[in-house]
Amino acid sequence: VVYNREEEGPRILEWWARMVKAGIASNPGRFPAGNAAAQRAFSAGQTAMIFESTATLRSLLTQSGGRFEVGTGYFPKPPHAAQGGSIVGGASVWILRNRPAAEQQAAWEFVKFITAPPQQAAWYVGTGYFPIRKDAYRERVAQATLARNPQFLTAISELRSSPVNRATEGGLLGVFPEARQKVEEAIEAAILGRKSPKQALDDAAKDVDQAIAVYNRTMGVA
């Protein structure tokens, strides 16, 4: 695992920590309590900018109550980075193996229902999550929402314009939750001044490498 390639990782954390120390940015804490606190501060007009999932767009528009205009923008790329882009994330729908046939059939009926254009359009405009099929955008409710709230188009346009590269291909990692937690710990340590950004990321990389080694041995691939 490399979190320090081309020093972009430490640069970002140094910038982040400087903003918090200077009072330009706040540190509301980790998910989920931190996210909720940040959303409340933004909706109350106490902070001017927030990094959030597209899934919170409808909620932020509702919470702001029209007291101010909610703008959206592309996720920034470090100026020294040669390439950037956006990746997808979020939820998945699964049909489990080794379950009774009746349950699997019921799950399949649900999958067909939830992935149909009307439901995808309703999910999209009710949250901000991406619909998984293009024809959902042709639904009347989606068209009306895009006309009224063009903010719902920002993230979709960003994803469509993103190049295919190492930054956007996503990660195949058996210990993804643990790796994410280690990165969160590194960010927290750097922002609170407990470690330098470089040391925090080096320690995270070492811990994740160890977790990958254990995972590979457990799965019989090393």
Q: What is the pLDDT of residues 55-80, one digit of tens each?
A: 999 999 999 999 999 999 998 887 77
Which tokens is 24 given?
């330009």
Residue 143 lies in a domain: yes
What is the residue-averaged pLDDT of the chain?
92
Domain that holds residue 124: 101-161
- Inform me whether the pLDDT recorded for 1 exceeds 70: no
Asked if the structure places residue 122 within a domain, the reply is yes
Domain count, the chain: 1
Q: What residue has token string 């909720």?
A: 36
Please, which pLDDT band fits residue 222 given cuts at 50, 70 and 90?
low
Distance CA 186, CA 16 (A): 12
Residue 113 falls inside a structural domain? yes
Residue 177 lies in a domain: no
Cα torsion 5, 24, 85, 119 to 10°: value is 130
Q: What is the pLDDT of residues 16-68, one digit of tens each?
A: 999 999 999 999 988 889 999 999 999 999 999 999 999 999 999 999 999 99
In a domain, 182, yes or no: no
Of these ranges, 24-38, 101-115, 167-181, the one predicted with the greatest mean pLDDT is: 101-115
Flag whether 209 is in a domain.
Answer: no
121 lies in a domain? yes
Q: How confident is the model at residue 169 (pLDDT cuts 50, 70, 90)?
A: confident
The Cα–Cα gap between 196 and 129 comes to 35
Q: At 7, is the pLDDT very low, low, confident or very high (cuts 50, 70, 90)?
A: confident
As given in the structure block, the two tokens for residue 21 are 């120390």
Residue 27 within a domain: no
DSSP letter, residue 45: T
Output the pTM of the full model.
0.85
